[in-house]
């Protein structure tokens, strides 16, 4: 009997391509696991009216560990149009299944490491004062509060009258008093002290464990004074228990400028759901893009690991596959860390680093080619070839 059981959720598009590649690497590094397939994604919305079936939630509740590939997610009107006609007008509402997973199991701590690999042609470089170039080492870990904020789903079009009445008690709602509620769309941003405190504690512990000197709160407290202010207050309080770690603060807009000026200055960054999504993708762009962007969604009893790229359905049917599997493989390494298999996780990351630095096996994105069926003929590696190279380097 295997030591671990992992719920495998390929999802949509290239998720079905890259997840099996990560499993090949896990097998090669000696991870003793059984993989249980679970349904999730667009086809289950279209055919069943639910992109996150209860049977998948049951498997995750039972086993507590999941690997997730990617999903296709579309706006409300497109989702409604693609729903099976027999299911329409029966109360089905599309909701992102990965957001649903986070809400169902309170996977409130999202960790997105963004580390540059030497030799990656996609790494950030900048011009020096003497006209030359330098390539700073980027090593940041973004902690994104996963379950609250703007992504919590508390929004309405044509809101109920009681919602309008409640908002009308705020002085700043006066400017909207003349707007008919049927012409109004409202999204709310809710933070709680418990969640703010929890993610700040996780961030400071991570900084101490991994040798970072600072934790930066990246929000907008000069405008979003109450919600961003609560996260800042939590950071100040938690930092008192971690005096060796500095507490920094940046505004999200200024951070977008500074990360292309001095990204090497930042260690652990903490933000709410929306700003965390933004800043993590921005940092990922400095270390190779979404093909290198891994993440973990951590709760008390369940953890799900996923690349942050989308489903890219236009690439799914290409034969051979050309997509970059590294983000998925690095997400699998994060899963190894989570269950205490740190030696195996380090071997996976070192193997990825060796392949990138050697530079003989590169996918089309690493060669800065437009994606298409002809890239292999032009020298790009296939998805399988990249995985093979990583496996060959596991014992190097």
Mean pLDDT of 122-135: 96
Whole-number pLDDT of residue 13: 97
Q: For residue 190, is pLDDT > 80? A: yes
Which tokens in the block code for residue 354?
Answer: 């060796």
Domains and CATH numbers, the chain: 1-108+302-396 (3.40.718.10), 124-154+190-286 (3.40.718.10), 159-188 (no CATH)
CA pair distance 71, 168, nearest whole angstrom: 38
CA pair distance 143, 276, nearest whole angstrom: 7
Mean pLDDT of 358-367: 97
pLDDT, tens digit (0-9, with 9 covering 90-100), for 242-271: 999 999 999 999 999 999 999 999 999 999
pLDDT, tens digit (0-9, with 9 covering 90-100), for 197-220: 999 999 999 999 999 999 999 999
Whole-number pLDDT of residue 396: 67
On whether the CB atoms of residues 325 and 361 are closer than 8 A, the answer is no
CA pair distance 80, 49, nearest whole angstrom: 10
Which tokens in the block code for residue 346?
Answer: 């380090």
- Alpha-carbon torsion 327, 328, 333, 336, what sign? positive
The alpha helices in the chain, defined as continuous H runs, are: 15-28, 42-48, 54-63, 76-82, 97-104, 161-167, 193-210, 227-239, 252-258, 273-284, 313-316, 326-338, 342-358, 383-392
Whole-number pLDDT of residue 395: 81
CA pair distance 235, 255, nearest whole angstrom: 18
pLDDT, tens digit (0-9, with 9 covering 90-100), for 49-103: 999 999 999 999 999 999 999 999 898 899 999 999 999 999 999 989 999 999 9
Whole-number pLDDT of residue 371: 94
Spatial CA neighbour of 290 closest among 371, 384, 171, 185: 371
Q: What is the pTM of this model?
A: 0.95
User: Which of helix, strand or coil describes residue 391?
Assistant: helix
CA pair distance 370, 372, nearest whole angstrom: 6
CA pair distance 114, 338, nearest whole angstrom: 17
CA pair distance 197, 359, nearest whole angstrom: 43
DSSP class of 271: E
pLDDT band at 112 (very low <50, low <70, confident <90, very high): very high
DSSP class of 365: T
3-state secondary structure 157-222: ECCCHHHHHHHCCCHHHHHHCCCCHHHCEEECCECCHHHHHHHHHHHHHHHHHHCCCEEEEEECCC
CA 226 to chain CA mean position, Å: 26
pLDDT, tens digit (0-9, with 9 covering 90-100), for 306-335: 999 999 999 988 999 999 999 999 999 999
Residues 6+ apart with CB under 8 A from 329: 18, 21, 22, 25, 348, 352, 387, 390
DSSP class of 242: -
Mean predicted lDDT score pLDDT of the chain:
96
Tally of CB atoms within 10 A around 110? 26
Task: Kindly report each contact of residues 370-379 with a partner whose C-beta sits within 8 Å and lies 24 or more positions away, as own/partner.
Answer: 371/314, 371/315, 371/322, 373/318, 373/322, 375/322, 376/320, 376/322
DSSP class of 287: B
pLDDT, tens digit (0-9, with 9 covering 90-100), for 8-22: 999 999 999 999 999
Whole-number pLDDT of residue 1: 86
pLDDT, tens digit (0-9, with 9 covering 90-100), for 133-158: 999 999 999 999 999 999 998 999 99
Q: For residue 109, is pLDDT > 90? A: yes
Mean pLDDT of 219-232: 97
């Amino acid at each position: 009997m295997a030591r671990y059981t992992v719920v495998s959720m390929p999802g949509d598009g290239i998720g079905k391509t890259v997840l099996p590649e990560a499993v090949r690497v896990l097998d090669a590094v000696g991870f003793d696991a059984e993989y249980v397939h679970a349904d999730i994604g667009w086809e289950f919305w279209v055919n069943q009216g639910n992109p996150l079936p209860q049977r998948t939630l049951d498997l995750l509740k039972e086993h507590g560990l999941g690997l997730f590939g990617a999903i296709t997610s579309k706006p409300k009107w497109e989702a409604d149009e693609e729903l099976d006609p027999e299911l329409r007008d029966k109360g089905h509402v599309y909701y992102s299944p990965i957001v649903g997973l986070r809400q169902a199991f309170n996977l409130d701590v999202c960790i997105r490491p963004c580390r540059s690999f030497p030799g990656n042609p996609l790494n950030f470089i900048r011009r020096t004062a003497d006209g030359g170039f330098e390539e700073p080492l980027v090593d940041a870990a973004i902690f994104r509060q996963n379950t609250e904020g703007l992504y919590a789903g508390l929004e309405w079009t044509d809101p109920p009258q009681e919602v309008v009445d409640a908002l009308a008690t705020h002085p700043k709602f006066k400017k909207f008093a003349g707007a008919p509620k049927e012409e109004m769309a409202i999204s709310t941003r809710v933070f709680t002290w418990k969640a703010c405190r929890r993610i700040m504690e996780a961030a400071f512990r991570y900084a101490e464990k991994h040798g970072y000197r600072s934790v930066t709160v990246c929000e907008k407290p000069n405008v979003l004074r109450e919600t961003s202010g609560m996260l800042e207050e939590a950071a100040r309080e938690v930092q008192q228990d971690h005096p060796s770690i500095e507490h920094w603060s940046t505004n999200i807009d200024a951070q977008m400028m500074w990360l292309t000026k001095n990204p090497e200055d930042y260690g652990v960054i903490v933000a709410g759901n929306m700003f965390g999504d933004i800043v993590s993708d921005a940092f990922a762009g400095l270390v190779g893009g979404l093909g290198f962007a891994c993440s973990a969604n951590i709760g008390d009893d369940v953890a799900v690991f996923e690349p942050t790229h989308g489903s890219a359905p236009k690439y799914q049917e290409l034969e051979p596959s050309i997509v970059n599997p590294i983000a998925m493989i690095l997400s699998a390494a994060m899963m190894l860390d989570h269950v205490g298999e740190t030696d195996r996780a380090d071997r996976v990351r070192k193997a990825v680093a060796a392949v990138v630095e050697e530079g003989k096996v590169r996918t089309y994105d690493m060669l800065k080619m437009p994606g298409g069926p002809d890239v292999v003929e032009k020298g790009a590696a296939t998805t399988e070839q990249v995985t093979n190279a990583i496996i060959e380097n596991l014992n190097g």
